[in-house]
Each structure stands twice: as C-alpha cells, then as structure tokens.
Amino acid sequence: MAETIFALASGAGVSGVAVIRVSGPGAGPTIETLTGRPPPPPRQAALRRFRDGSGHEIDHGLVLWFPGPRSFTGEDVAEFHVHGGRAVIQGLLAVLGRLEGLAPAGPGAFTRRAFDHGRLDLTQVEGLADLVAAETEAQRIQALRQLDGDLGRLVEDWRQALILCLAHLEAAIDFVEDDLPDDLIVGLRPRIEALVAVISAHLSQARSGERLREGLTVVILGAPNAGKSSLLNRLAGREAAIVSSIAGTTRDPIEVHLDLDGLPVVLVDTAGLREATDEIEREGIRRAEARAARADLKLLLIDATAPETHAAMAARFDSDTLLIINKADLAPATVADGLAVSAATGQGVDALVDAIAAKARERLTPGAAALTRERHGVALRDCLDALRRFLAAPEDPELASEDLRLAARALGRITGRVDVEDVLDVIFSEFCIGK
C-alpha cells in the first residue's frame, strides 16, 4: 500500500492561516485521530478541534476531506486549515509524524502523485510550477493555460492522429500476405503531410513561450563610463516597475526583473559583469553572462559628451538594438535615431521604458498552447524528423510504421505518456515541499 504523506502546503513563515495537506490511504484515519470524529462530508469545510495523542488541544480550524480519486493527487486527501503560527504548525506536524504509516512529503511529492495517478499530465505539472513562480500577468495567463491542459490536449490530438495512421498500416501489414498495396502508404501521405505542416508551424513560435516564461532579456551595452550602471539603477529605482533584483552580493544588482504592463523583462547589467570578488558573486556573473549572450534586446548606450566613442559603438548596432544617447543633460544628442535620456535627471527614461515595453509586447504575447520548455521543442523536432523520414522513404511498410511509432513516441514524451523517467526528476525538482 502507498505511504501516506503530509506537509505544510502554504508558504513558510508566519501567516493568518496555514494549510497542512495529507495524501494517501491514511488521510481519512488521520482526520479521525486529530478531531476524534469521522471526516466531514466530501469537499465541505468543517470546524473542528485538533488534538494531540494525549488529548491536548493544539488548535482549532477547518478540516476538508477529499476522498480519492476526485482529489488533487487522485488519492484520499485531508486538508487542515489552522492558524499560521510556528508553534501551531510545528505541533501539528509533530503529531502527524508520530502517526503510523505517515511520512513527511519530499519536494513535489503531491504533484508527483497527481501525475502518477493521471490527474495531471507532464505539461500540466510544468504549468503548475510556472503558475506558482509567475511574477507577471502574462506569465500567469500562459501558466494557467498550460495547467488547464491546452498544450497537452494539442499534443495528444496529434499523437492520436498518428496512432490511427499507425493502426491502419499495422493492420494492413498483418492481414496482407504478400506485398502491401503501394497505395496504402501513399494514402497516408496527405495526413502525415498535414501533421508535418501544423507541427512545424507550431514549432516556429516555440521561443516565445519560453521567453515569456523566463522574461525578455535586455542587456545594457556601452563604453566604460557611458552610464550603464546609472541607467540600470534609474530603471530599477522606478518602484512601480520593479519586481525583484538579484544582487551581486552588496554591490549593484546583476539582474533586475521588471514588470512592464504585465510582461516580464529581465535587465542584465553588463557593467556588473566586470569584476567578481567572491564565489557567490562569480556564480551570479556566470548566469548573467549566459543570459546576456542570448539577449533579446540590447540597449546600446552612447555618451553624449564623448563623441569619440560613437564610431566604435555603431559597429555593434543591429535590429535588436535600441540606440540610447545618455547624459542628455550635459550635451545635446549628436546621433540621429537615438533616444536621448539622462540617467542622472531621469529625462527621457519614461520614453525608454515605453520603447522597451513595445518590444516586449511584440515578442511576448502569450500564444495558444505555447511551448514553454526547451524539451517541448526538442520532442516536436524529433517527431518531425521521423515523419519526414516516413515521407522521404521508399515504400517499405516496416520502416514506415517504425517511423510513425517513433514520431508518436516523441509526442508522448511531452505529456509524459511514454518513457519519461529521465525527465521526471528534472521537472519535479522545480517544486518545493508541500507542492
């Protein structure tokens, strides 16, 4: 029999209410042990007193009973909503830990059980992780869609279409004694061609889902003293826009997360990339460098008072670059097409933020059934490779059906229907205890 697991499901720290979740066959008996009464009617909150083994009251609060399989994990689940103080939470967790057959849940264990019981497919598991991590409106929308199963359904439809083709082919191979009629494989071609077309089209928007998940990466480039750090601080200082900043220890932030109209933008400070003084900071810099290397947008900063640096900088200009003339408070802008700003006075900074937001809108609009992980794109490319082999191959039915099988298996990896043991650990490591 499966072990019964328990954990604090709400965030760590003091709060008004804390939720402790129990999942497994021992969930119902746990309610009886703690409250001295049978579980309340399913999915209805009931007020109860919770007592330890010697009858001492720990707290009173709400208990909810979700008999399996209609629960988050698919197993019997109990939820205890208690006061969110440390002693209450510790007291209750200690009582649960002493109960026979109960064990503390590891990171992501509840979600893992939901996946194992078919309550969520792998894309929904990822959607849930993204929803918990979402910092902006657009990220929330994309994550919620994935949790609702948009991507999983689309991929599963494609897989079912492939399985149908495969079934026709295999039935024919089994029933026809001699050579298969050529027209069988020929007859499947239009359906496979149509699938190749829709899957390739979907793949072409692949990066945007991942971008929205991670944020549009914007780096600030420019000669030393052009004012990169000053501009970053000026942007980060706009309190309304800032979500969080990852500090390079006590010095300037290396990454600043901005929320521009609900769109996530990560500003990477290349000025902060110059020197590292300790290990933690070096790691921060390593990450910032990796992000900068695949920046979506560059802000090329030119110092209005140092025209001699312009020519060298102009060489780095491309279509993903916004040209910024800084220190507009000291000298008139001498470069056409540049946005004049002053990191010192804040002049022009609103227009700059608007320009960044416009770029973000262009790139990050959440699409239907967006591909939000690299592995989604990899699987679709594997699927396409197999389908193209099918289309290119001479009409050998054994090879043809093997190609269709491989294509279907690649799709099955996205939703977790087939051999995904290797990716499960990676995916569930995104969760923390209680999820």
Q: How far apart are CA 65 and CA 41, in angstroms?
A: 7
CB of 302 to ligand GDP, least distance (A): 11
Q: How far apart are CA 329 and CA 220, in angstroms?
A: 20
Among 81, 119, 213, 327, binds ligand GDP (CB under 6 A): 327
Segment interacting with ligand GDP, rule: CB under 6 A, options 59-67, 196-204, 226-234, 375-383? 226-234
Residues contacting ligand GDP: total by CB under 6 A: 16
C-alpha distance from residue 143 to each of 122, 319, 376 (Å) = 13, 30, 15
Residue 330 found at the interface with ligand GDP (CB under 6 A) = yes
Residues in region 375-404 near ligand GDP by CB under 6 A:
none
**Token representation of residue 268:** 């990477």
Among 41, 55, 190, 224, binds ligand GDP (CB under 6 A): 224
CB of 295 to ligand GDP, least distance (A): 17
Nearer to ligand GDP, 75 or 269 (CB): 269
Q: Are 99 and 32 in contact (CB under 8 A)?
A: no
Q: How far apart are CA 408 and CA 41, in angstroms?
A: 43
Residue 313 found at the interface with ligand GDP (CB under 6 A) = no
From the number of C-beta atoms within 10 Å of its C-beta (0-12, 13-18, 19+), residue 315 rates as exposed
Among 326, 372, 401, 415, binds ligand GDP (CB under 6 A): 326
Residue 270 found at the interface with ligand GDP (CB under 6 A) = no
Residue 268 found at the interface with ligand GDP (CB under 6 A) = no
CB of 276 to ligand GDP, least distance (A): 16
Q: Locate the DSSP E strands across 69-209.
A: 77-84, 102-104
* Positive/negative CA dihedral, 182, 184, 187, 188: negative
Residue 225 found at the interface with ligand GDP (CB under 6 A) = yes
Closest CA to 48 of 40, 56, 6: 40
Q: How far apart are CA 271 and CA 276, in angstroms?
A: 11
Residue 351 found at the interface with ligand GDP (CB under 6 A) = no
Residue 184 found at the interface with ligand GDP (CB under 6 A) = no
**Token representation of residue 241:** 């826009």
Among 271, 288, 357, 404, binds ligand GDP (CB under 6 A): 271
Place of tokens 């020929």: 186
Residues forming contacts to ligand GDP in the complex (CB under 6 A) are 222, 224-230, 271, 326-327, 329-330, 342-344
